[in-house]
Amino acid sequence: MRVVVKVGTSSVTHADGVLNADMFTSLAAQIVQLRGEAHEVLLVTSGAVSAGVAALGMAQRPADVGTLQALAAIGQSRLMERYNAVFAAHGVVTGQVLLVPHDFGDRRQYLHARQTMLRLLELGVLPVINENDAIANDEIRFGDNDRIAALVAHGVAADVLVLLTDQEGLYTKDPRSNLDATLIDVVTTDDDLLSVAAGSAGSARGSGGMASKLSAARIASWSGVRTVIARASRDNVLVDAVDPARVVGTTFLGRDRQLSARRLWIAFAAQSEGRVVIDAGAVAALESRGTSLLSPGVTAVEGDFAAGDVIDVVDGSGGLVARGASAMSHAEVAALRGRRASDLAEGVSTLVVHRDEMVVLSALR
């Protein structure tokens, strides 16, 4: 099997940000065991910012993006130094791959990234992947390593994605404040839990949380990839999670129907820059006929977006219907909303979002 493993900041560092030597040793041993069983493994890791915080002796993680990017640059080399050392002890060579979510939205970048990762596997190298936090902007605050891991799993056609965290898995409620919360073992492809809301706050050292892991599980599910969310410190967690016969944490089953990398990025990974409100007729057309969104169906425009930006498409009550890359700027949509081609000068397009650049999310539930 081809396996993508993602480990979070709270798992690879101590409370003070210092890298957790025991966790690195355990991860290496388990990944080497999987490789020995003929599995191909790619590792997605967080922890660069936290390692940078520790290197500078800071009392806490700062909040401003500029400092976070500088800390990521400081910590990334230290993170890779540790991975190089623990895997070299097993005779395994590692290769660093730095990505941002947008790499999966641009077809050319996506193919380049995919080819690099597959070639590393062919060479017997363990790809160690991280978000490129030193140059990332908003992504650094959204815990996108979970989503990057899911997009990587799609890109390399992985069989299983394992998200290692500081919780046992997905609970019916937040177990930190609800004593009656119970662990959910399996989420099926038709289960409403794939659209469940979860708290977005991660640990004080990281930027993710269960919400970003659920988003990653949605991406992986629509890639046909089985996903497991489990506690990183559990004995033999990675080896057990890869084995479909064992029950570890929460397992999300993959769907038969799959979305392209571009559509996965639009639906689940891209940041929305605004939204358009559409009428009931337009909602029906998108959901039942899979049409493009045209200006006659638009009733309102919100946000400041440019052509090419990803936007939300909502109904009159604010319910999310679709997400897509806008063919117009917000000003152009505002000027054309509710107007038909017959009302406009010849040659003026009424296309707001092309159907090939849109995912109807209400149809995915």
**Partner residues linked to 277 by β-bridges:** 300, 314
- Fold agreement (2-263, 272-363): no
| Distance, CA of 147 to CA of 217 (rounded, Å) | 8
**Amino acid letter at 282?**
A
- What's the one-letter identity of residue 285? A
Fold of 2-263: Carbamate kinase (3.40.1160)
Q: Do you know the residue count of the chain? A: 365
Q: How many CB atoms lie within 10 A of CB 271?
A: 13
* pLDDT tens digits, one per residue of 63-86: 888 898 999 999 999 999 999 999
Residue 341 has pLDDT above 60, yes or no: yes
Question: Residue 364: which of 266, 293, 267 has the closest Cα?
Answer: 267
Q: How far is CA 221 from the centre of its chain?
A: 12
Q: What is the dihedral of CA 186, 191, 194, 195, to 10 degrees?
A: -150
Residue 15, amino acid: A
Element (H, E) at 251: strand 250-252
What residues are paired with 164 via a beta bridge?
7, 230
Average pLDDT over residues 234-262: 88
Specify the range with the lowest mean pLDDT, choosing from 11-20, 201-210, 250-259. 201-210
DSSP code, position 362: G
Token digits of residue 292? 């493009």
The rounded percent of the chain whose pLDDT value lies above 90 is: 58
Distance of CA 267 to the CA centre of its chain: 11
pTM of the model: 0.82
Is the pLDDT assigned to residue 190 strictly greater than 80?
no
Asked if the model's pLDDT at residue 201 lies above 50, the reply is no
Mean pLDDT of 332-358: 91
What are the pLDDT digits (tens) for 29-50?
Answer: 999 999 999 999 999 999 999 9
What are the structural domain ranges in the chain?
Answer: 2-263, 272-363
> The tokens of 124 are what?
């017997």
Q: Residue 212: pLDDT above 90?
A: no
Q: What is the pLDDT of residues 273-312, one digit of tens each?
A: 999 999 999 999 999 998 999 999 999 999 999 999 999 9
Average pLDDT over residues 206-217: 68
- pLDDT band for 365, please (50, 70, 90 cuts): low
Q: Which amino acid is at 278?
A: I
Name the residue with tokens 């991860």.
27
pLDDT score of 208: 47
Topology of domain 272-363, CATH: 2.30.130
Scored b (16 or more CB within 10 A) or e, 143-170 reads bbbbbbbbbbbbbbebbbbbbbbebebb
The 10 Å CB-count burial string (b at 16+, else e) for 188-219 is eeeeebbeeebeeebbebbbbbbbbbbbbbbb
Nearest to 241 by CA among 180, 305, 185, 313: 185
Say what the pLDDT of residue 270 is. 77
Contact (Cβ atoms closer than 8 angstroms) between residue 276 and residue 302 = yes
CB neighbour class for 319 (10 Å; exposed up to 12, middle 13-18, buried from 19):
exposed
